[in-house]
Structure 1
Amino acid sequence: MAGNGNTAFRFRVTLRLDGRECWREILVPASLTFFDLHAVLQECFMWYGEHLFCFCAAFPNGKQVQVEELWGEEPSYHEAKYEQYMPVEPLPEVRIASETELGDVFPKARTARYYYDYGDDWIHDIKLLRTYRSVHVADPQLWDGAGDAPPEDVGGVYGFERFLDTLGNPEDEEHDGMVEWAEDQMWDRFTLNRHRERLFRWHKHRDMMLQ
């Protein structure tokens, strides 16, 4: 963890949507924990933190690391539960998200994956674009982005396509109900400034809670 306070990372995080564009570019302090990064990405993609998550990365020497919250699970169950995300032989090193800083994994690892909601199975590819050293970045920043992210619990990639088709067809018998559901989910189209405001509000709330 030493030295992470004067380093920042610029990441591009791309949500896999079978050809549909959806990505965010963020600047974050290396001293953030992976749990903090999870919260940042929740804001950037307008998720609501209702489901489990993990980060997976591999170092140049082939060593793999899986970062998440254990939630009190037995280690053997924990390791087997997520074997679909990383090879089980050898088992990855498991680290706790709230105790692992970004600078403990990056920039040694250049890429990672962020998995959210093991039912809908949202997979985000994280690419490290640049490392800034001897700088002070006080708070996470959303620099750029494109594409609408799916609403929470829409039913995976297939469910999102159906959701968009239904919204775009007023003649569909499910259209009005889908519009109402989208409003209940507080789903909205991607707008950079609006998403920036959301991330800013999260960070200010976090600062208040830590005081």
Structure 2
Amino acid sequence: MRKLSGAPEAGDPIYQVKITLLNIEGLPVWRRVLVPAAIRLDRLHAVVQAAMGWENYHLHYFLDGQTHYGEADPELQYRDERQVRLDELVKPGGRLLYTYDFGDGWDHEILVEEATAATADGHYPRCVAGQAACPPEDVGGTGGYARLIQILGDPRHEEHQDVLHWLGLEDPSRFDPAGFDLDEANQSLTAMA
């Protein structure tokens, strides 16, 4: 039954990938996730969304250095991500670029750190480590995120209340840029699976 659902069986190859949000000032935002080596790129997209904390509102693509992979769309001319597996593109030590939200331009490096084998009691995908909060959707890219953090940190800033309202918060301490919750990341991964 696990094979039919796409879940790896004991002994199947597993990749440990580190997903790093690029060009963030200050505390780096990253997640370390165990995924089946044979995961299709459309499923890897869902893993990145869940592990990082994105809400899948925007377009995305993968880039292996020469070819763009994404949703099949004649205008974008991407290779169909549903037809490509991670282990066909990248081996341990290799990298992919993943870009999410073409307006804000969130670039992520996906580094395949190592290959291991699935265990009989393992759950995949599974986040095993991470650091820092994902920026809110539609914040305006890396510059907008830096500005948001600055405004939240200064209760006297003229836009402080507007930003709190935009985030749906009453208390600025409810958004911690350094915060990362491993259990929450894994709940999101379980929900997407």
Question: Given that residues 92 and 114 in structure 2 are in contact (C-alpha distance below 8 angstroms), is that contact kept between their aligned partners in structure 1?
Answer: no
1:201 is matched with 191
Q: Once superposed, what is the RMSD of the aligned Cα atoms? A: 2.4
Match of 1:45 in 2: 52
Taking the aligned partners of 1:36 and 1:183, their CA distance within structure 2 comes to 30
- The equivalent residue for 2:68 is 66
Q: Which residue of 146, 155, 180 maps to 1:190?
A: 180
Specify the SS of the correspondent of 1:10: strand
CA–CA separation in structure 1 for the residues paired with 2:123 and 2:166: 37
Equivalent position of 2:3 in the other structure: none
Equivalenced residue count is 176
Unaligned residue ranges in structure 2 (runs of 5+): 1-6
For 2:92 and 2:17, locate their aligned partners in 1 and report how far apart those are by CA, in whole Å.
14
The answer to whether residue 40 in structure 2 is matched with residue 33 in structure 1 is yes
Q: 2:115 aligns to what?
A: 131
> CA 1:44 to 1:134, structure 2 compared with 1: closer, same or farther past 3 Å?
closer
Does 2:15 correspond to 1:9? Answer: yes
Give the CA deviation at 1:24: 0.6
Q: Is the 8 A contact 2:17 2:33 kept in 1?
A: yes
Letter in 2 for 1:35: D
* TM-score (norm: length of structure 2): 0.80
Shift in Å, 1:23: 0.7
Q: CA deviation at 1:187?
A: 6.7
Distance change >3 Å, CA 107–CA 120, structure 1 → 2: same
Does the CA contact (< 8 Å) of 2:92 and 2:112 recur in 1?
no
In structure 1, how many angstroms separate the alpha carbons of the residues matched to 2:95 and 2:161? Answer: 41
CA distance in 2, matches of 1:109, 1:23: 17
Residues 1:178 and 2:176 aligned together: no
Question: Following the alignment from structure 1 to structure 2, what is the Cα–Cα distance between the partners of residues 25 and 124?
Answer: 13
Once the two structures are superposed, what CA deviation does each residue of 1:80-114 show, in whole Å capped at 9, x if it has no partner? xxxxxxxxxxxxxx521122122221217711111
Task: Determine what percentage of the aligned residue pairs are the same residue.
Answer: 30
